[in-house]
Amino acid sequence: MFNRTKNIFIFIIFFTFFTFIIRYYFSEQNIILTNKSRTNYTLLLIQESQNIPLLKNDTDNIIVYKDELKEFKNKRKKRFWENLITNSNE
């Protein structure tokens, strides 16, 4: 008997709790406050984005292109058969 009464009481509390939460969440007051907060945040974001300093672009001509294939061919030891293939017409 006590266990059943306890369960009913817990169910009522649980149901009441969620009912109040849902009522507050969908109330006009909460919707208005949420919209005001979002609007203030958006305005603040726009103002702060206008105050961001612009930096000068200093990335021109910083890439050095290397011909690594030619360097590799010059450093590598030539094989006998490579000389036969490349010098056959000369």
**11: helix, strand or coil:** helix
d(CA 16, CA 8): 12
Q: What pLDDT score was predicted for residue 87?
A: 56
The model's pLDDT over 35-78, given as tens digits with 9 standing for 90+, comes to: 999 999 999 999 999 988 888 888 887 887 777 887 777 776 76
Q: What is the dihedral of CA 4, 10, 12, 18, to 10 degrees?
A: -150
CB 78 within 8 A of CB 72: no
User: E-strand spans in the chain?
Assistant: none
Residue spans per domain, the chain: 2-86
Global pTM value: 0.47
d(CA 56, CA 62): 15
